């Protein structure tokens, strides 16, 4: 998917950024705050199996197209109800700043 057509942006997603609040013991508590509601097109791309420590995990990666925004970073995430997608990278889909393609992994 190089981009999308406006009519294909069929899901309302919440674009969120992390908000870390220091705690009393020198750590931080992470919460997520809403940046904007955006319309997007979610397309699963592949499933992978990997080992984390001594256990096997599975993950599904997605390509999510949204309207162009200059403020999206790899620290953000997209949420669709209970489904949460961690953004790994965001690229200009067609070089014309019409769409942003977010390369994501669905969090379990």
pLDDT tens figures, 7-55: 889 999 999 999 999 888 888 899 999 999 999 999 999 887 777 777 8
**CA dist., res. 87 & res. 89, Å (int):** 6
Burial level of 43, CB count in 10 A (0-12/13-18/19+)?
middle
Who's near 37: CB < 8 A, 6+ residues apart? 12, 13, 14, 15
Separate counts of helices (H) and strands (E) for the chain: 0, 6
- Reported CATH class of domain 6-107: mainly beta
* The predicted structure's pLDDT at residue 1: 47
- The model's pTM is 0.83
* The predicted structure's pLDDT at residue 3: 57
Instruction: Sketch the domain layout of the chain as residue ranges.
Output: 6-107
Q: Output the CA torsion 49→77→45→83 (10° steps).
A: 80
Tokens of 61: 């990666």
């Amino acid at each position: 998917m190089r981009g999308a057509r406006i009519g294909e942006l069929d899901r309302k997603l919440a674009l969120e950024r992390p908000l870390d609040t220091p705690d009393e013991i020198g750590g931080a508590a992470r919460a997520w705050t809403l940046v904007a509601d955006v319309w997007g097109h979610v397309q699963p791309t592949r499933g992978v199996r990997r080992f984390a420590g001594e256990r096997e995990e599975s993950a599904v990666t997605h390509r999510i197209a949204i309207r162009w925004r200059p403020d999206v970073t790899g620290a953000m995430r997209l949420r669709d109800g209970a489904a949460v997608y961690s953004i790994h990278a965001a690229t200009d889909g067609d070089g014309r700043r019409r769409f942003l393609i977010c390369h994501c992994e669905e969090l379990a």
